[in-house]
Structure 1
Amino acid sequence: MKRIRLIASDLDGTLLDGRKALPAGLADTLARLAERGIAFCPASGRQYQSIVELFPEAAGALPVIAENGALVMLEGRELASTTIAPAALAGLLARLRSLPAGANERGAVLCGKRSAYALPGRFSDEVRRYYPKLEVVEDFAVVQDEILKLALFDAGSAAREIHPHFAVLALELDLQVVVSGEHWVDVMAASVNKGAGLRAVQAALGITREETMVFGDFFNDVEMFAEAMHSYAMANALPAVAAHARHRAPGNDENGVLRVIDGMLAAA
């Protein structure tokens, strides 16, 4: 078996526990990985700036897959990105404006390269926890930025309440709609996913899928599983997601990612 040279991990529901906290001992594990020449890559639907806040060293050292693969950074520089075409974005925003009111609280975040954008209101105040670089605008149409993703929130079930309103339109506009969490749906260019982001990292570092280990728990991790010989679904993953991974890891509240990595390091 080829030795592991790259480890990519989803964050929410995977590396982070239920309180959105990093596991104890992570810094020590990252140091040991670096000593052995093994790259660690956070891979998340989160904004790049949000990931950097969790991993202060990321800006200068780690590869980072952000915005579900729409933005890939390496040593603080853009390695790859895929944006939504202006015509497709106009169609998305028109659908957003015509979205009927639902039974639950809803919100939207326009995710650009320079910043994220939200409309005024209580939702924009709460969303700063996930998008530390956020501008509040009166209308998304005034935003001047390269747009990576439209993130849609529903306090109930995003898959049931939001996804159907955008699924057909996304196909017409050469986009895709991905359920990225219980309350979130992301709309991105059709070619965007964490797997494509991981391939960009592998190519830049000269690493093969046989030398890659990945961890994930949700539907937006499935393509990433396919790009790694050593793919782990968390114990808390949905069965339909776990079916795409070769192995299982203990849950995110059981320090599952670090337990697998530490076991691999001990056996190497």
Structure 2
Amino acid sequence: MPATPIPTPLLDTAGLPTGPADIRLIVTDMDGTLLDDAKRMPDGLWPMLAELRRRGVLFSPASGRQYATLARQFAEVAEGMVFIAENGTYVVRDGVELSSDTLDASVAARIVRTVRELVADGVDVGAVVCGKRAAYVERTDEAFLAEMRRYYVEHRLVEDLTAVDDDVIKIALFDFGSAEHTTAPAFAAFAESHQVVVSGEHWVDVMNRTANKGTALRGLQRALGITPAQTMVFGDYLNDLEMLDAADWSFAMAGAHPEVVSRARHLAPSSNDNGVLRTISRVLGL
């Protein structure tokens, strides 16, 4: 969920072209950016994706969600689409891995044990071990499982998260309180060697230091021969910061985290106001 909203114009047109821009790649975060507060796809998305494809513009979702979840959400148009999943740790196109950044098994086990210690101290937090094949959980209460299922359609309940047999790319932590003020500080020791990223009001992701949406995006740009000047990016939360840096056309959503607003070059209407599609239409002259 976004931070406390700050006043922003519906669309910051300063620096936008008067005619269609040469955009070849559009990358958007999902929750709080493309999806509205009810987690719904925006009206008009499918016709716009068809028009972007006709124009040779690649549209790529970039999310903390797993690849299987994103592929299901875009099943109608998934052919040829690049999915930047798990906050950039796993990039897939047409079922083929383009890149990944896996966690060392010993590090993953330490993170799980730290979560167990937090729970023993009374913190209401649970871990999701994110593998390439599925997401894994050992917490069994329905309240936690309901939150996990929203983002991980391929998931398995296991007895011991330290014994998962999969390539682990990320560990996501769901805190029923404030992830930024409770869970994230508890992982300060990991931040010395790994990334501890607050990806939402209740979520913290722990990944390799080299892994983020921006790294994944830059690799995709190199592979496709697309420049930052030809790239448009939308985001709303802290896990989008590096991705915004990789595009000249970077947009923070109205109501985004203040750091995202300060990092982006432009402002877009909120996800509840169909900000991504409205901005694409404006910039590309659709």
Cα distance, 1:129 vs structure 2: 2.2
Q: Distance in 2 between matches of 1:103 and 1:216?
A: 33
Counterpart amino acid of 1:190?
A: R
Q: Equivalent residue for 1:240?
A: 259
Asked if the contact 2:109–2:161 (Cα under 8 Å) also holds between the matched residues in 1, the reply is no
Q: For 2:38, which of 4, 15, 19 is the aligned residue? A: 19
Q: Shift in Å at residue 99 of structure 1?
A: 1.8
Does residue 220 (structure 1) correspond to residue 243 (structure 2)? The answer is: no
Q: Does 1:138 align with 2:148?
A: no
1:158-179 residue CA offsets vs partner (Å, 9 max, x unmatched):
01110011121342xx211000
Q: 1: CA distance between counterparts of 2:200 and 2:147? A: 17
Letter paired with 1:262: S
Assess if the C-alpha contact under 8 Å between 1:236 and 1:252 holds in 2.
Answer: no
Structure 1 counterpart of 2:125: 106
Could you tell me which of 232, 250, 256 is aligned with 2:275?
256
Corresponding residue SS for 1:44: coil
Q: Which amino acid aligns with 2:130?
A: C
Secondary structure at the counterpart of residue 118 of structure 2: coil
The SS at the match of 1:162 is: helix
Alignment partners' CA distance in 1, 2:233 and 2:65: 17
Between the aligned partners of 1:86 and 1:116, the Cα distance in structure 2 is 15
Residue 217 (structure 2) aligned to one of 193, 198, 212: 198
Provide the TM-score with structure 1 as the length reference.
Answer: 0.94
1:11-68 C-alpha deviation (Å, 9 max, x unpaired): 0000000100000100011011111100000000101111112111464221110000
Structure 1 window deviating more from structure 2 (187-196 vs 48-57): it is 48-57
Q: What is the CA–CA distance in structure 2 between the aligned matches of 1:112 and 1:200, rounded to whole Å?
A: 21
What SS is found at the alignment partner of 1:8? strand
Closer/same/farther in 2, CA of residues 136 and 260 from structure 1, 3 Å limit: same
- Report the count of equivalent residues: 265
Task: Report whether the alignment pairs 1:60 with 2:79.
Answer: yes
2:141 to 121, 129, 133: 121
Unpaired segments of 5 or more residues in structure 2? 1-16
Corresponding position: 1:158 with 2:152:
no
Deviant stretches of 4+, over 4 Å: 100-104
Distance in 1, matches of 2:231 and 2:76, equals 21
Aligned partner letter, 1:130: Y
1:102 Cα offset (Å): 6.1
Q: How far did 1:103 drift?
A: 6.0
Q: 1:187 aligns with which of 183, 191, 206?
A: 206
Within the candidate set 95, 113, 125, 1:76 is matched to 95
Contact map agreement 1:209 1:228 (CA 8 A) in 2: yes
After TM superposition, the structure 1 stretch with the greater mean CA deviation from structure 2, 175-184 or 120-129, is: 120-129
Identity percentage over the alignment? Answer: 50
Letter in 1 for 2:97: E
Residues 149 and 186 in structure 1, CA contact (< 8 A), matched pair in contact too: yes
Q: Runs of 5+ in structure 1 lacking a partner?
A: none
Any idea what SS the aligned residue of 2:251 has? strand
Which amino acid counterpart does residue 161 of structure 1 have in structure 2? T
CA shift, 1:72, in A, is 0.7
Aligned-partner Cα distance in 1 for 2:118–2:124: 13
Match of 1:6?
25
| 2:66 corresponds to 1:31 | no
Compared CA separation, residues 104 and 85, structure 1 to 2 (3 A): closer
- Are 1:87 and 2:106 matched, yes or no? yes
Aligned in 2, Cα 1:3/1:236: closer, same or farther, shift over 3 Å?
Answer: same
Which amino acid letter does the alignment assign opposite residue 144 of structure 1?
Answer: D
Task: Find the partner of 2:169 among 148, 154, 159.
Answer: 148
Q: Distance in 2 between matches of 1:147 and 1:165?
A: 21
2:211 is the alignment partner of 1:208? no
Structure 1 distance, partners of 2:231, 2:242, is 14
What letter matches 1:14 in structure 2?
A: T
